[in-house]
Structure 1
């Protein structure tokens, strides 16, 4: 863990009577930590003070618990503990700390997972210094900070989650049927006639009709709806 020197800041913030926003930077690349610290200290005109930099998630959690910064910039891919898990732990040990994910990419599910763990936005390592500073100041004031790419990814992740939930729900409904009824419904959904199902399952057509009727009553669905259920379940 590399503690930043408490260098004197320009007194723009002090002149306004407002204490600077305290920040901790967590990234396993020392060049990123150094560059980001310089950007925040040299371009913020005294509005931001970097307390510390950390090389992994474990250090980040310990630093948050010790210093309780206003904002933490958290990289995702770090050793010992990744930024997603570290975000969750930071929110427990320092509830007042706002976490911004520090990243150059937004892999699928990253945005949604980060939000679930308590992150309040994203900062790109390639953003202009003023943009990074504005995001830090805004998130300290309770304004979530998601750029267009992160917003788009979040919407995509949520849509994917809804689809997965619908699939899980459909599978659960199918699995609630007795085995022979379930098999009959799946074969019917594949377009087989009652006669073909009977031959396939070595039962009578009357039994096929009874299985389908029973499944319809159990799930309150007609044959077309049962076929859609099988489709949603991926069977």
Structure 2
């Protein structure tokens, strides 16, 4: 049996810390190794405790969760950070992703969703709903909009630059990932096994040099393989 996933909780509200700890600690494969009230202590705790996953609040004293995430990922890129917030705001979402977070979860999520989130990010999956992925791509499009230049990246109206280092099947899988399909849904649509899908997704992430599925979709947008509204 593999060792439990090590989790660090970061929130300035003691009741929430205790609640999250109670939810997670009853799972045999999860272990809460620390609880801290601000981002500065989170950075220090990661160095000391080496958790697999950090559940990180956004608005905290001393150091906010976004900056704490940025500092943690810069030194410990193997650590997965899930941003927890009561606010479904785009600026938090994009700032968190740019800082290196692997997921974004609202604090009013069901307890089962919290447990599933920890397991998902620990195994390399990004924790974002399909509509959130599309918001990320749409945000990139609007922020980079301007007169087209020769050789400019692909997009809704530009010339799509292929990803020659991906096979045809891998490109197909990447497009389906961008549509927000799960591995099981991709397997059904591509007429392959779920294990085969997992292999293709892993190969895509490795070839693109990215951490998770969301970053893979962004890389695909950069190359013009997918566009907003996929």
TM-score range, shorter chain: 0.5 to 0.7
Distance 1:120 1:20, change over 3 A: same
Q: Which runs of 5+ in 2 are unaligned?
A: 150-230
Give the SS at the match of 2:126: coil
TM-score by length of 2: 0.60
Alignment match of 2:25 (pick from 33, 36, 41)? 41
Taking only aligned residues, the RMSD between alpha carbons, in angstroms, comes to 1.8
User: d(CA) in 2 for partners of 1:19 and 1:33?
Assistant: 23
The Cα offsets for residues 72-127 of structure 1, whole Å up to 9 and x where unpaired, read as 00111111111111001111232221001111222232212111111011122111
Alignment match of 1:65 (pick from 20, 41, 47)? 47
Distance 1:148 1:117, change over 3 A: same
Bigger radius of gyration, 1 or 2?
A: 1
Which 4+ residue blocks in structure 1 deviate beyond 4 angstroms? none
User: d(CA) in 1 for partners of 2:92 and 2:41?
Assistant: 21
The Cα offsets for residues 27-85 of structure 1, whole Å up to 9 and x where unpaired, read as 1111111111111112x2x1110011111100110000111100000111111111111
Alignment length (residue pairs):
148
Give the SS at the match of 1:23: strand
Which residue matches 1:24?
Answer: 8
Distance 1:32 1:148, change over 3 A: farther
Contact 1:106/1:150, CA 8 A, preserved across alignment: no
Displacement of 1:161: 1.7
Q: Which runs of 5+ in 1 are unaligned?
A: 1-16, 170-235
User: d(CA) in 1 for partners of 2:8 and 2:117?
Assistant: 14
